[in-house]
Every structure is written in C-alpha cells, then in structure tokens.
Amino acid sequence: MQRMLEGEFRIPSGCAVSGIMNCRGIRFPGNSIVDSISLMHERSNGLGGGFAAHGVYPDLPQHYALHVFYSDHAAKEGTEELIAANDWTVAHDEPIPTRKTGLVADAPLIWRYFLQADLSRDDRHSTTGVDDRMLQLVLAINDGVSGAFVASSGRNMGVFKGVGYPEDIGEFYRLDEYRAHTWIAHGRFPTNTPGWWGGAHPFGLLDLSVVHNGEVSSYGANRRFLEMHGYKMNLQTDTEVMAYALDLLWRRYEYPLELVAAVLAPPFWKKIDRMPKPQRELYTALRTVYGSLMMNGPFSIIVGWSGGMFALNDRVKLRSLVAAEQGDYLYAASEEAAIRQVCPNPDRVWFPRGGELVVGRISPQQATQPHEALATGGDVA
C-alpha cells in the first residue's frame, strides 16, 4: 500500500452540486443558487466553482453566446481569426464583467461573443446544422488555439466558472446582477485531475450544461467511444465526457431523455432479464450498442438546458442527491440543507433512487403545481 505523506488526503465523496429551475420560465436572480451552493462550502477546497445560467441573455436569445478564457492576447487574436474563418459574424463582444474581491486570483482574460452563423444553402433551415458548426468551432478553439478554452457556447445561456470557492466565484462574476430561469452550480474538490479554470464545472456544450459530483472510472472507454464520433477531450477532467455523451445521444441522435439516462446509468442485467419482451429487447440493445458510454463509478449529476433541468444518480446511488418542489420551482442538490437554505418549507422532498431520473420541464402556460409531470423518476421522456 502506498504511504500517504503528511498533509495529503483524499475525500472521494467531495464536491457539491445544486440546481434550481422555475417551470414557468420566470427568470430569477443568481443570489439563490449562490446561497444554496455556499451552504456546502466544506465539500469544496477552493480549486473550482461555477454556475450555469439558462435564459440569461433574453435580449439576444438566438445568438450563440461564446464564453472564452484566454491566457494572453495572442490566444484572443487567434480565436477571433478562427471565428471569422469559419463564417461566423460577431454581433457583439466584450469582456465579461467581474468584481475584484481579493478572493479569486490569477484570473485569465474572460471574454464573451454573441455570434450569428453566415448561413449556407445547406444549413439555412437546419438548427442541427448550425449547432454542428458551432460544435466544430468549439472543438477547433480548444484543440487548436494555444491558451484559449471555451467555457460555454449555447444560445441564451452562459457558464461562469473558475478557480475558487463557488460563493467567491459567484461574487467575482457579479451573479446578483443576472437573472435566469434555470441555474445549476458546482463546488469542486478535485481528486484525480488538476484544479484550473478550464477544468472547473459546469461543463457547457451548446444548449447543455452539466455539473458532477463523483468520479467517472470508465473515462477511458467513454473517451475512446466519443472520439470515434468526432469529439476531442482536452479539458483534463472526467466530467467532460458527460457533456459530449449527452450531446451525442440527446441532440444528435434525438433519443428520449429516459433512454439517454438508460445509457449513462443502465439497469443491471438481472433487472433487464425480468422486463417484458419489448422493453427487454430495447434495453439489451442499448447496453450492447452503447456499453462504452455507460458512466461507471460513483456520480450524481445535474443538467441544465433551455427547456429545464434534470438530475441523475449512478445506478447504485454511491453519491448523494436530494430533490424538492415548491410551487413552480424544482430543486436538486447534494444535501437537503442546501435546498432548505433557499426554500425552507418545500411542498415535497424526496431522495431519488440509483438511476432514477428527476426531470423538470419549462412550460410557460402551465398552472401552479404541475410537478406530477416534472419529477416522475424517469417516467417522463
């Protein structure tokens, strides 16, 4: 057994996740999500914190909001040349406003661009085609421009992350000045990968953002599978594969959400064997075709997108995950206390089982208390 040196320690259950969404699409300030994640301060160690906000840019909802970290101005120039070379028009760009607090140090140059595609005849009427072009731009920047890393690239959403405790990152990015209908947050305690700005959570890709507490021990197999489909892993953390797997299955292949969850956290074979024949054949096929995309290891994740939020545990529930509802709001977090910090008296609190999907969907026309359809443990596609 390897002897640990004095002062070295490992907390495998470290990291914290939290998410809040309004099912009617009503935008609310970032204070609530900062308060929620800050209650779990001890789950972090100051090497990573961050937030994703969906519905945050209502004045430019159809523009791709590209948040980029730069180590120097040469990286910025190289990225902007790449943007122009790939037929994107910059409608507006600016440094992301930050607040000097003394608690966040060594910040890179942080910039955002609002981009429109110069459409060709082939992709003029195809959202998927334009999304694929943005995906290729993100991969080209991350892989080809030294010192540049894309934090988020979706429409009407943004990722605000860095090295620090999450509450300090929230103050640094002035999240009290933003409003969004869905917020997710992360406090990081890295155990296997470095703590750096690009490796902090959330991980955003197009419309999706994901935060993760745990460890993806299947990272090697997941990475090889995704690289065969054109993705490139270069952010030095296992969580990156989750964002790309979701993009492949949900956006590109358009699988229903419960089938996506069944790939990432599939039922055990003994459970599949007891299913009715049509269901048994479906889940057998999923495990056969996408066995290399199964996320092995302990995890809980929260995912935000333009249509809402979902949360998922590993199939054995080796990481904590709590969900709650109150009125038009759905909450998910690593700890019940983090929910009660911002919602002292929820209508309902429950602890999802391993592999059980908790889904919240935005429906602006719905009346109050629509939650039977929002959080049914994987019964809603």
CA distance 288 to 104: 46
E strand intervals along 47-141: 49-54, 64-70, 88-95, 109-117
What is the per-residue DSSP string for 311-322? EEE-TT--S--E
Q: Do the beta carbons of residue 126 and residue 21 sit within 8 Å? A: no
Tokens read off for 266:
């599939």
What is the per-residue DSSP string for 199-259? GSSPEEETTEEEEEEE--TTHHHHHHHHHTTT----SSSTTHHHHHHHIIIIIIS---HHH
232 Ramachandran zone, left/alpha/beta (phi>0; psi -120 to 50): beta
* Number of helical (H) and strand (E) elements in the chain, helices listed first: 10, 18
State the Rg of the chain over Cα.
20
CA distance 351 to 365: 28
CA distance 18 to 167: 12
What is the per-residue DSSP string for 341-362? TT-SS-SEEE-PPTT-EEEEE-
**Catalytic residue status for 23:** no
Tell me the CA end-to-end span of the chain in Å, nearest whole number. Answer: 46
Active-site residue, from 14, 15, 112, 314: 15
Burial status of residue 71 (CB atoms within 10 A of its CB: 0-12, 13-18, 19 or more): middle
CA distance 249 to 293: 10
- Give the residue numbers marked as catalytic: 15
